[in-house]
Structure 1
Amino acid sequence: MAARDSFIAVAAHELRNPMTPMVGQIELLLSGVKAGRYTPQQIEQRLERIQSLMLHYIKRSATLLDVSRITSGNLKLAPASCDLILVVKEVIETYAEATRHAGVSIKLDLPSSLSGTWDQLALEQIIDNLMSNAIKYGEGGPIEVGVIDLGNTICLRIRDQGPGISLDDRARIFDRFERAVGVDSRHSGFGVGLWLVRQLTEAMGGTISVETGLGVGSVFSVVLPRHGTATPT
C-alpha cells in the first residue's frame, strides 16, 4: 500500500512537472512574438523547447498506461513488420535537446537496417526507458547504443559511463518501485522504468540482462526474437 501511494504521488508530480515550464515557454513565445522581440532563430529555439517538454509529458503518460495495463493483465501486443534501426534512431532523436543540454554524446553502432516483427510501441518504450536511464545516471559520460543481428534473435545494447550498480542492487533493480541504493534524490521518476522494460521484453519472448560493477558503468542488453507473436485475445 505504501509503495502504491508513493507511486501515485510521484506520478502526479511527474505529470504536472513538465506542464509549468511548458506554459511558461508558450507565454514567453507569445509575448515575444507580439512585441516583435524574437528573431526566427529564437522562435525556433523556443518551439524546440516546447516540443521537448511535450514529448516528455507524452512519454510519462505512456509509461503510466503501460504500467496500468501490465498490472491489470490487460497488456495486448500487436506485432507488425518494422525496421528496428529506424525505431532506435527515432527514439534517440527525441533526446537530442536533452543530450545537448547535458553535454552527453551518443555513439551509435547500428546496421543500416534490421527488419523483423515486433510490437513497435513496446519497442519504443523499451528503448526510451533504457535511454532515459542512461542519460539520468550516466553522469554526463558518453552513451553507446548498439544493435546486433543474431539471426533468429536481435540484441539491443545500451552502455553508460555512470557509477555502476552493486551486486546487491542488481538483484532488485528490475523490480517495481525499486532503485539502486544511493541514487541521487535529484533524479525524479516513477521507479518503474527498468521493471517496465523487463515486463515488455518478457511479454515479447525476450530477456534483459545487465553487465555492471561499481565504478565501471552499466551495459543493459535486451535480446528479442526476430519475429514476435500477438497476444492471445
Structure 2
Amino acid sequence: MKICFVGGGNIAQAIIDGLLKSQLPPEEIVCIERNQEKIDLFKSQKITVASFECLSEDIFDLIVLAVKPKDALVVAQKIEDLAPHSNILTVVAGIGISKYPTSASIIRSMPNTASAYNKGITALYAEDQEAPAFKNACTLFERVGHIMVMENEDDIHTFTSIIGSGQAFLFQVLNVYLGELKAINNGNDEHAINIFQDFVSSLGDLFGKERDFEMLINKIKSPGGTTQAGLESLEDSKIDSIFKDAFRAAKERSIQISDEN
C-alpha cells in the first residue's frame, strides 16, 4: 500500500510512527511538508519528502489529508486538480464529506495520537464502505490500533467527545491524583511520577484481566471502609453527570465547528 501524507502535523506524525512500528516499509510512505524541522524528522525516518507535483506523477492507494481545518478545502481542491478521482483519507476534524470536491473518493477518519504506539482508536466513515479505498483505510488504521466504522457520519461527533476529547478529560482527573501523590512524597517529584506511571499502567492491566468495572470496584471497597466513603462522596458530587456534561459539551462544539467550516 502506497500512502501520501499531505501535511505532517501531530496526527500525521503519530500515524506514521505507528505504521513504521507495524513494519510498513518507509518506502511506502511519502509526505508533502514545508516545515524544515518536520522534513528533517521524516528524512531521518527514511521517508520521502516531496512536493505537490508528486500527486500527478505517482499513483497512491491513499492520499491522507492532514492539514489544519482552515486550509483543508483549498488543499483538497489542489489534490483534486493534480490527481482527479483520487482516494482522499481526511484526518481533519470538523469538516463533513459533502464539503469536499465531489469527484474525489472521500473517507473521513478521526484518529488519536495513541496511533504512534499502535494503540490508536480511529473512527471511519465513507458513503461507500464497500469500496477498495475504504478497505485500504481500514487496513491502514488497523496497523496502528483499533477502528470503529460509523454507520452515520454524524456519529463522529459523539466519537470525538468520548475518544478524541475524552483522553484529556481523564488526564485532567489523573492530574489531580498526581498532585496528591506529589504532596506526600517529600518534594521528590520524579519519584512520584515514576510511581504514578506504574499506578496508571496497572489500571489498564487490571481492566484487561477483569473487564468489569463494578467487579473491580467491589474487590477494593468494603462496607463502611475508606473506599466506600470516597465513592459515596463522588456519587454525592454527581460524578457521572459531570462527565456526561463534558461529553455533551464536546459533542456540541464538534457540531458547531462542523457548521462553521
When normalised by structure 1's length, the TM-score is: 0.26
When normalised by structure 2's length, the TM-score is: 0.24
- Which structure has more RCO (C-alpha within 8 Å, separation ≥ 6)? 1
If each structure's helix is expressed as a fraction of its own residues, which one has the higher value?
2
The structure whose Rg is larger is: 2
